[in-house]
Amino acid sequence: MSESITSGFGGPARQPSPSAGPSGPAQTQDTLTFEGCREQKQDIRLLFMWLRTLPRWTPEILTAPSLPALFGNMTFSSDNARDKGLVALRGQDVDAPQKYRSIIMRYMDKLQHWGCHAFYHDLGFTTSQNIWMFFMKLSTSGTSTSAVVPSGRPSKGMNPKQSSMAYLLVLNYHIADKMGWVFSLETHGNLRCEQHLVNSQRYKHACSGNLGKIVTTLKDWVSLLDTVHDAFLKATEDSSDDARTILQQKWESADWDDAAAEAVLGGLLKKGRVRKGLAHRAMVVQNFEDAAVALHLFMSGDVFLPSEVLVAKFPRLGDASGGLQLSKPISGMVFSLCLSPVALFSHKSLCSNQITEEKYYEVLTALGNTGQPEALERVEQTIWLTLMLIARGADAEACIAELLGWWGGFRETGVVIGLDSGVRTWFEEPELPSTSRVQEAREGEDPAPTDAQRDGTQMADPADVDVKFEEVYTLVQDACRVLHIDPDNVEHRAAIAKMHDAFKQARMTQCSLPKASIMLLDH
> What is the DSSP track for 127-180?
HHHHHHHHHHHHTS--S-SS-----SSPPTT--HHHHHHHHHHHHHHHHHHHHH
**Residue 261 in domain:** yes
Q: Are residues 21 and 157 in the same domain?
A: yes
- The whole-number pLDDT of residue 460 equals 47
Question: Pick from 163, 194, 225: which residue ends a domain?
Answer: 194
Q: What integer pLDDT is reported at residue 489 of this predicted model?
A: 60
DSSP 448-512: PPBHHHHTT--PPPHHHHHHHHHHHHHHHHHHHHHTT--TT-HHHHHHHHHHHHHHHHHHHHHTS
| 220 and 354 co-located in one domain | yes
Is the residue at 154 inside a domain?
yes
Q: What is the pLDDT of residue 76?
A: 61
Residues 436 and 512 in one domain: no
453 falls within a domain: no
Q: Domain check: are 46 and 154 in the same one? A: yes
User: Does residue 308 sit in the same domain as residue 239?
Assistant: yes
Domain of 227, in residue numbers: 198-444
> In terms of domains, do 48 and 143 share one?
yes
Q: Identify whether residues 367 and 490 lie together within a single domain.
A: no
Cα 40 from Cα 94, distance rounded (Å): 42
126 with 180, same domain?
A: yes
Query: Do 13 and 117 sit in the same domain of this protein?
Result: yes
Give Cβ neighbours of residue 431 (< 8 Å, ≥ 6 apart). Answer: 198, 200, 371, 422
| 69-90 pLDDT, tens digit each | 888 877 665 444 344 555 555 5
Q: Note the pLDDT of residue 11.
A: 28
Domain for residue 251, yes or no?
yes
Is position 455 within any domain?
A: no
Q: Three-state SS for 321? A: coil
Q: Is 395 helix (H, G, I), strand (E, B) or coil?
A: coil
Q: Are residues 176 and 204 in the same domain?
A: no
Q: Which residues of the chain have pLDDT under 50?
A: 1-30, 78-83, 141-147, 235-236, 433-463, 465-466, 469, 507-523
pLDDT score of 511: 39
The 10s digit of each residue's pLDDT in 449-465 is: 444 444 444 444 444 54
Report if residue 450 sits inside a domain.
no
Are both 13 and 90 inside the same structural domain?
yes
Last residue of a domain, one of 409, 444, 479: 444
Q: How many domains does the chain contain in total?
A: 3
Q: Are 131 and 91 in contact (CB under 8 A)?
A: no
User: Do 183 and 236 reside in the same domain of the chain?
Assistant: no
Q: Is residue 449 part of a domain?
A: no
Q: Can you tell me the distance from the alpha carbon of 148 to that of 334, in angstroms, rounded to the nearest whole number?
A: 19
List the one residue out of 364, 363, 357 whose CA is nearest residue 134: 357
* Boundary of a domain, candidates 168, 194, 220: 194
Whether 284 maps to a domain, the answer reads: yes
Query: Among 87, 434, 406, 386, which residue's Cα sits nearest to residue 225?
Result: 406
